[in-house]
Amino acid sequence: MPRILRINTRTKEFKFEELGEYAGLGGRALTSRLVNKEVPADCHALSAENKLVFAGGVLAGTTVANSGRLSVGSKSPLTGGIKESNSGGLFAHKLPKLDLLAIVLEDKPEADAPFQTLFITKDGVEFKDASGIAGMSTYPAHEKLLEEYGDKLVAGMIGPGGELCGKASTIQFTDPYKRPARSAGRGGMGAVMGSKKIKAIVLDPAANEKSTPANADAFKAARKTWVDVLQGHPVTSQGLPGFGTAILVNIVNEAGALPTKNFRTGQFEAAADISGEKIAETIEARSGKTKEGCHAGCIIQCSQQYNDKDGEYLTSGFEYETVWAFGANCLIKDIDQIAQMDRICDEKGIDTIEMGNTIAIAMEGGIIPWGDGAAAIELLNKVGTGDHLGRIIANGVDFAGGAFGVDRLPTVKGQSLPAYDPRAVKGVGVTYATTPMGGDHTAGYAVCQNVLKVGGEIDGHKKEGNVEVSKNLQIATAAIDSLGLCLFVAFAVLDDANGVQAMCDTVAAHTGLKFTADEFLAMGVNCLKDELEFNKRAGFTEKDDQLPRFFTTEALPPHNVAWDFSAEEMQGAKVD
């Protein structure tokens, strides 16, 4: 029976608990329920009253394809609201091997307490002095842990960004290639971990409890059908594996929706230089790899190994949003510089989306010139050094706006917007405005319907249909995140008549409980209700469900479309 492990970071006590009221939940549904029930909504996110929850999905530990995503939940230092930050890596599938559904970090020690590494076994928790890795970037720190715990290391750790409690700091997780390259990127989860003075969490490599499906035959059949669904869709079987998510650069640029120079226009003249095609070509020329999975059991393989000019490993998990953030949004054309920034962000433990936007704000504020990749790299490198500019950068867009006197801040609920201009992709604009997460594309990815023509076709320039599609996607996404599935399964599920059934069948066969499309949707709705309830208690109102004014007052070239939804209209995208 999976358990919840609660760890008091001040007293160093721990306890294993039965699931109790949390039984049946997983992933985001679990983290959001627990945070909503147990964290005072009005507490400071860095205070002892906040909690940090790590949970695999309902399918964690199974052999279901693409079911190894991790949810990290807490009150967000960035948004002040609830947060589920989703990551790949090996952590989620490993938890059930320790008979764990979730780990909860509670309380916090004094601010000057030394950082600790938590070594977690099936039977207990060891607090180990982390002075050997405190202050280090994640790659070298991860190397040290590999030396200590061996090649089967599964860890989550913060970088210098989290150590200094930067609101844009991440938690980095071990990927299948022994690198800390997967991020719970958004919302400053690293700062919460840093405030609790935990540098790293290591899951006992030796732990190996078996996950046995309740209905083995049905599970085997369902698992296979599910693989067929994923392999039957061109996006999940060809587009993503060949080019990674950066295949979107040219597509979104063509659609006039690639935010350029801090959301001034929708097309970047140098888009081709930073495109997925260019990246794939570069990777091949340098003997890198174009197809890697972020977790065991991934059959989509959208990740990659991007090597530098000397053919040495530089980065992976090099996503479209990262390429956009440092590229088009900052007018930086050099893909190697952008790849370097991706690596620096992983090393420092800071979110690439928030950082790309933050660098653009530094350019707005005249701190560095537009398009200057070398200067941008220098800025990112300041995080975790004695230079206080690094503290400004590590705190994200709104913070940098305050520091540099900039008022053009593309944020919703304090979190900066990703790589789709909401004026030209209104469905995702609705998601930005209304998801409890703050500006976030993954929470309801209407880019499918607005741009990719997956799961239907809805004009991204017009209002019609976009509130509804965002709402439906937000529900489905919350459920997918709760099952622990990779969001990209949605491409196939949306277009394949058998997709939802196949997905639900794996859950039912694994748990032995009824799980149909109805239970799937209810799981999503209930998760969103938890999140909305928390945010309401934290003081959010419908006034917060709106984009910054400049999206309304400035039309976006080349299609000259503006944001024209009112905050009232946005309420239709929220579950009741």
Write down the least CB distance from residue 575 to its own copies, Å. Answer: 21
> Is residue 37 involved in binding its own copies (CB under 8 A)?
no
> Is residue 49 involved in binding its own copies (CB under 8 A)?
yes
Kindly tell me which of 38 and 281 has the beta carbon lying closer to its own copies: 38
CB 555 within 8 A of CB 544: no
> Is residue 537 involved in binding its own copies (CB under 8 A)?
yes
| Residues 512-533 as b or e (16 or more Cβ within 10 Å = b) | eeebeeebbbebbbbbbbbbbb
CA 268 from chain center: how many Å? 25
> Is residue 46 involved in binding its own copies (CB under 8 A)?
yes
Q: Out of 16, 38, 43, 146, which residue is the one contacting its own copies (CB under 8 A)?
A: 43
Write down the least CB distance from residue 366 to its own copies, Å. Answer: 7
Q: Where are the alpha helices (DSSP H) in 365-465?
A: 373-381, 388-393, 396-404, 426-434, 447
CB 196 within 8 A of CB 105: yes
- Interatomic CA distance for residues 178 and 298, integer angstroms: 16
- Interatomic CA distance for residues 88 and 83, integer angstroms: 16
Q: Out of 19, 404, 501, 569, which residue is the one contacting its own copies (CB under 8 A)?
A: 404
> Is residue 539 involved in binding its own copies (CB under 8 A)?
yes
Q: Out of 135, 297, 365, 557, which residue is the one contacting its own copies (CB under 8 A)?
A: 365
Mask of contacts with its own copies, 442-461, x by CB under 8 A? --------------------
- Interatomic CA distance for residues 342 and 183, integer angstroms: 11
Mask of contacts with its own copies, 136-155, x by CB under 8 A? --------------------
Burial of 464 (0-12, 13-18, 19+ CB in 10 A): exposed
Write down the least CB distance from residue 551 to its own copies, Å. Answer: 12
- Interatomic CA distance for residues 58 and 238, integer angstroms: 28
Write down the least CB distance from residue 390 to its own copies, Å. Answer: 9
Total binding residues for its own copies by CB under 8 A?
Answer: 44
Write down the least CB distance from residue 536 to its own copies, Å. Answer: 9
> Is residue 252 involved in binding its own copies (CB under 8 A)?
no
Q: Out of 447, 544, 551, 573, which residue is the one contacting its own copies (CB under 8 A)?
A: 544
> Is residue 548 involved in binding its own copies (CB under 8 A)?
yes
Q: Out of 37, 453, 514, 549, which residue is the one contacting its own copies (CB under 8 A)?
A: 549
User: Would you give the end-to-end CA distance of the chain in angstroms?
Assistant: 34
Secondary structure (3-state) at 313: strand
> Is residue 392 involved in binding its own copies (CB under 8 A)?
yes
Query: Can you tell me which residue has the tokens 């004009």?
Result: 459
> Is residue 370 involved in binding its own copies (CB under 8 A)?
no
> Is residue 261 involved in binding its own copies (CB under 8 A)?
no
Return the H-helix or E-strand segment holding 522: helix 517-537
Contact segment (CB under 8 A) with its own copies among 56-64, 118-126, 403-411, 432-440 equals: 403-411
Write down the least CB distance from residue 394 to its own copies, Å. Answer: 9
- Interatomic CA distance for residues 156 and 226, integer angstroms: 29
- Interatomic CA distance for residues 500 and 494, integer angstroms: 8
Write down the least CB distance from residue 159 to its own copies, Å. Answer: 14
Secondary structure (3-state) at 83: strand
> Is residue 167 involved in binding its own copies (CB under 8 A)?
yes
* Residue among 183, 73, 71, 82 at smallest CA distance from 480: 71
> Is residue 55 involved in binding its own copies (CB under 8 A)?
no
> Is residue 195 involved in binding its own copies (CB under 8 A)?
yes
**Maximum distance among all alpha carbons in the chain?**
63
Write down the least CB distance from residue 408 to its own copies, Å. Answer: 8
> Is residue 210 involved in binding its own copies (CB under 8 A)?
no
> Is residue 165 involved in binding its own copies (CB under 8 A)?
yes
Query: Can you tell me which residue has the tokens 């958004």?
Result: 186
> Is residue 395 involved in binding its own copies (CB under 8 A)?
yes
**Helices 396-404, 352-364: inter-axial angle, 10-degree rounding:** 20
Write down the least CB distance from residue 18 to its own copies, Å. Answer: 29
Contact segment (CB under 8 A) with its own copies among 220-228, 229-237, 398-406, 458-466 equals: 398-406
Q: Out of 35, 314, 409, 417, which residue is the one contacting its own copies (CB under 8 A)?
A: 409
Q: Is 415 left (phi over 0), alpha (psi -120 to 50) or beta?
A: beta
Sites for its own copies among residues 91-120 (CB under 8 A): 111-112
Contact segment (CB under 8 A) with its own copies among 64-72, 212-220, 298-306, 394-402 equals: 394-402
> Is residue 546 involved in binding its own copies (CB under 8 A)?
yes
| Residues 194-220 as b or e (16 or more Cβ within 10 Å = b) | bbbbbbbbbbbbebeeeeebeeeebbe
Q: Out of 247, 294, 538, 573, which residue is the one contacting its own copies (CB under 8 A)?
A: 538
Write down the least CB distance from residue 415 to its own copies, Å. Answer: 14
Mask of contacts with its own copies, 63-92, x by CB under 8 A? --------------x---------------
Q: Out of 147, 405, 464, 576, which residue is the one contacting its own copies (CB under 8 A)?
A: 405
The secondary structure of 254-297 as a DSSP string is: HTT---BTTTTBS--TTGGGGSHHHHHHHHHHTT-EEEE-SSTT
Secondary structure (3-state) at 137: coil
Can you read off the two tokens belonging to residue 432? 């930005």
Write down the least CB distance from residue 264 to its own copies, Å. Answer: 14
Write down the least CB distance from residue 543 to its own copies, Å. Answer: 4
Neighbour count for residue 224 (Cβ, 10 Å): 13
> Is residue 391 involved in binding its own copies (CB under 8 A)?
yes
Query: Can you tell me which residue has the tokens 């936007």?
Result: 357
Secondary structure (3-state) at 155: strand
Q: Which residues bind its own copies (CB under 8 A)?
A: 40, 42-47, 49, 77, 111-112, 164-165, 167, 191, 194-195, 364-366, 387-389, 391-392, 395, 399, 402-409, 537-539, 541, 543-544, 546, 548-549
